[in-house]
Amino acid sequence: MLPPDRPDGPAPYVVGIAGGTASGKTTVALRLAEAVGAGAVALVPLDAYYQDGSDRSPEQRATVDYDHPDALDWPLLLQQVDLLRRGRAVEAPVYDFGRHLRSRRRRTVAPSPVIVVEGILALHERRLRDRCDLKVYVDADADVRLIRRLRRDVAERGRTIEQVIDQYLATVRPAHTRFVEPTKQYADVVVPKGGEDERAVALLLASVREVVRGRGAPNH
């Protein structure tokens, strides 16, 4: 790993947030960003880093197992996390979930005192875990996660209910059992009832705020 290139201050505090699909990972990440303070958190969503499928037909892209670790562009993700850790801005990819394709657009992510890497496989890859100062697993019952995923994918990603259920049964549930849930063993903190677990989330936020305060970064 490259050491953080920050002669003017402490290295960023890197938080990895993993958990099953629709467990509340994004909710926890956004609440952390709000608690720490505007401009103090760089959010890095794993699902922006799916492999570029422009060399495949739409039919081929639709059959890819997007819950498998091989679906992610790990070299690009690790490179950009390292750049952020060294105090450099990155042009992060933007993924088009409707077309299963990496967009031509890019999202500028500025270096910040706290870096949050969030996604179902955020604790799967050892090289990414090694870069994390705090590892979090957001847990939730399977039926709750399925209902949330149905609502999200139909409303936000243009899927039909049948498509969501078929994908859940074919790839999402098997991948959760094989790749996602086992990473709970690496977590420093487990949020047991999803992103709506007020007590657990409050304790997590207080812990991160204390670390940020100790490093001299602005916070609420």
Residue 1 has a pLDDT of 47
> In this structure, is residue 160 part of a structural domain?
yes
For residue 105, the enclosing domain spans: 13-211
CATH code for the domain of 185? 3.40.50.300
The pLDDT value recorded for residue 156 is 87
Domain count, the chain: 1
* 193 within domain boundaries: yes
By CB atoms closer than 10 A (0-12, 13-18, 19+), residue 80 is buried
Q: Is residue 220 in some structural domain?
A: no
Task: Annotate 61-71 with b (16+ C-beta within 10 A) or e (fewer).
Answer: beebebbeeeb
Mean predicted lDDT score pLDDT of the chain: 89
Render pLDDT for 142-169 as a digit per residue (tens, 0 to 9).
Answer: 898 999 889 988 998 888 999 999 989 9
Q: Please report whether residue 202 resides in a domain.
A: yes
Angle CA(161)–CA(167)–CA(172) in degrees, nearest 5? Answer: 125
The answer to whether residue 112 is domain-embedded is yes
Question: Any idea how long the chain is?
Answer: 220
Taking the model in full, what pTM does it have?
A: 0.87
User: What tens digit of pLDDT does each residue of 48-95 get?
Assistant: 999 988 888 888 887 888 899 999 999 999 999 999 999 999 999 999
**Rounded to 5 degrees, what are φ and ψ at 85?**
-65, -25
Residue 7 is assigned to a structural domain of this protein: no
Nearest alpha-carbon partner for 120 in 26, 214, 203:
26
Residue 216 domain flag = no
Residue 217 lies in a domain: no
CB-facing half-sphere around the CA of 123: CA atoms within 13 A: 25
Backbone angles phi, psi at 121, to 5 degrees: -110, 25
Segment 10-43, tens digit of pLDDT: 889 999 999 999 999 999 999 999 988 878 999 9
